[in-house]
Amino acid sequence: MLIGWTCTNQTKTEDVVKLSDKTTAQYCKDGVNGDKVWHYKIKQFGHRFPHKENGTGINSVKEIWRFFKKVNVSDE
């Protein structure tokens, strides 16, 4: 899935950050029109909602807002 999004957005650089023993974040950037792809991989977690109290090292709500508050939507 990550490869598909990074190819579509033509990102050129990638930062990999270990957030906890379970969670790794990949921040792909410098894509077309400044596009970015953020990917979080959580080992052995299933389809639960990640938050700091369950050992994932992230607060999902804050991360979702951090990503989308940078999106500029304009009427053309």
For residue 60, the model assigns a pLDDT of 87
30 Cβ contact list (under 8 Å, min separation 6)? 11, 12, 13
pLDDT digits (tens, 9 = 90+) for 25-58: 999 999 998 888 988 899 988 888 887 778 888 8
Residue 51 domain-assigned (yes or no): yes
- Fill in the DSSP letter of residue 66: H
**If you average pLDDT over residues 3-18, what whole number do you get?**
90
**Element housing 7 (H / E):** helix 2-9
Judge whether 35 lies within some domain: yes
Q: Which residues form the domain of 46?
A: 2-68
Report the chain's terminal Cα–Cα distance, integer Å.
Answer: 30
Domain tally for the chain?
A: 1
Has residue 44 been placed in a domain? yes
pLDDT at residue 24 in the model = 92
Q: How far apart are CA 30 and CA 2, in angstroms?
A: 15
Please report whether residue 73 resides in a domain.
no
Task: Kindly state whether residue 50 falls inside one of the protein's structural domains.
Answer: yes
Is residue 76 situated within a structural domain? Answer: no
pLDDT at 10: 92
Residue 39 lies in a domain: yes
* Residue 60 within a domain: yes
